[in-house]
Structure 1
Amino acid sequence: MEIAPALLTDDGVFDAVVETEAALRTLHVRRLRLLAEVLRRGLDTDTYRRVVRADPREVKRWTTQATLFLPSTSPTGQPLPPLHPVTGAVVGELSDGHLTELARAISLRLPDGSEEILVEAARSVEPKAVRQLADRIRDRAEQDRVDEVDEPAAETGDVLHLRDLPGGRLEFFGELSAESGARFTAMLEPLSAPRPDGPRDAARRRGEAFADLIHLASRSTDVPSEAGERPHISVTIDHEALRRGVGHALLDGDRHLSAAQARRIACDATVLPVVLGGMSEVLDLGRAKRTVSTAQRRALHARDRGCAFPGCHRPPQWCDAHHIQHWADGGSTDLDNLVLLCRTHHSLVHHSHWRVATTGGTPVFIPPRHVDPAQRPRQNLLHRPPTPTPALAA
């Protein structure tokens, strides 16, 4: 006999949620198998759609999932494995939304090994994060295919279209190159950060920030600042790649550009090398200081590349440096005890049962049992490729 939700304990509610979601995933796999049988027998798919009262786009989506991820049979009746066995092996663990995003990712023709990364991500993050990760893998692959010799001809330059509107207003749209876009974003983000008395809509905040930039530029001597520093661009790149101009670099926010572009930025910029634990800057302050230094902040930007919580896409400029073991509890202000977290996930980690650790310099999050009964360690795959995570003590 099913117990009414109002009579369940707090833990019981979450246990029921986990059980219900598992049942829904099982039912979805059965739905795909039945649809695959309809297709195998050549039955009328319009009749199937009317029976299940589904939108044609839903049926098309399910058909794609069944074709890609379920076993099939040959014309002679021989069993055939799934076209994509990596996803097929865990299809019962994933939701309709996750399978939809994995099918989309396959259509992007991503590099070898991408499906394994996306499937691992799908087991711990929402479908939207899987889509973002697939897009980043695609962007990285496209950047790697750019011929460095022909790059200036291949890259679109800065373009701005203007149109006068009634009342003296101005409409504009355009496109910026990687270098210009990086500079623009570095100046815009400190001014467009959410604030209690400001607009909640991100587009309105960016619009107001852009207007502020225009006023600041007109005075030339005033520039916005962030954490006490002038607007800057952090570029993480291998020294040999920078010297030769061949390879790729990483901008804050996980935007990729070529080594040749990084060289052009370095020509008219102050180069701030990111040295993790090097001799050029003191990165580990131990118990001597609670607040994070500028040098440590740069190192965290290069290591975490944004909010380290699994599935979060927030860039490093919008994150706080969180002490894994709180400073008041004896934790040190060292890189191994620090992790970048956006305000939302900073609060979540403080007030929930999520645990954080670093393994090999990579932040790892262990969910509470009501989120994952197995408490499998998770990483944010949106900012960096996965690294092996040894079993962590419960």
Structure 2
Amino acid sequence: MEIPPALLSDDDVFNAVAETAAVARAAHLRQLRLLAEVLRRGLDTDTFRRLVRADPRDLKRWTAQVNLFLPSLSPTGQPLPPLHPVTGAVLEELSDGHLTELARAISLRLPDGSEEILVEAARSVEPKAVRQLADRIRDRAEQDRVDEVDEPAADPGDVLHLRDLPSGRLEFFGELSAETGARFTALLEPLSAPRPDGPRDAARRRGEAFADLISLASRSGDLPSEAGERPHISVTIDYKTLQHRVGHALLDGDRHLSAAQARRIACDAKVLPVVLGGDSEVLDLGRAKRTVSVAQRRALHARDRGCAFPDCHRPPKWCDAHHIQHWADGGPTDLSNLVLLCRTHHSLIHHSQWQITTTGGTPVFIPPRHIDPAQRPRQNLLHRPPAPVPTPTPLAA
């Protein structure tokens, strides 16, 4: 009669776990041998799969294990050793997960002697560690092959392809060297971590993180100049379109943007707005009062200490200086009219009815009624203690 686990001593619990694992390994090996016989006799493998309640992927994986690690018979009935006898000799000690990783490692065509190393490791470590070790052996072998030839000819370096899409978006793809790829990943991973207010899709998160990296790079003092100017982009828009937020703008002369997008990116000092009046008269070619000075930027960093939107943790270097009253509407470029916003919340403010005010120099956000019918003022308490907030003036119904 089996003793209930609750009545076992600590040592007996772990002994029972070891015994159960051994039984599971034996059962898997028995299953592989039965599958080998099904394959040898040409029986229906779908019937086998249904009887063991396995997925088609499991059947494919087990078939590979049978072909690689189990002995077989020749057409004349003569016994044949396993294709990989090193693994075949210790099947009783290896789990399904270990055999799966060893089969994968064999598909990588690793150098001679690799199987012995991996099998020895598999007898004492978990399957994930076997995979990692196999990948290290593969990477080392590939690097050795590169070192044997002329490295510049063997390594194509960093490659990037660009293609304009009809919608004005830009498609890009390419490859990075191991060194550049490691640096890129190290920069991207912290920025693309899941956030409560961010996208759940990993590709979207990486896209936003990449945009943040570009924004940060555009503010770098080490960027080269072109034709005597620092890197910048130009947005051309009609003044009435900019004021009424309905219509289109041109980005660098040939890509279309919405008026709302133009208003948002105009907050960035690296964007040169060309505002046209009647008969294409240039009304504003990046007037100086629009851009935020270095001193103002430092003051904003000290005041807001990051994105000022409630509950956002983004640090100052990932933020834009946003005009509370837009410069196109006559808003001054003064600290009282400026607030730090990350790219996500900068876009949110431009596309929603959030209101922003300042109290004692602290930005205060008033949500639209569909988010909070009472429109209670909110602050970001992650960067600094709360400040007294004013009684909100609700929007007219």
For normalisation by structure 2, the TM-score amounts to 0.46
More RCO (CA 8 Å, sep 6+): 1
For normalisation by structure 1, the TM-score amounts to 0.46
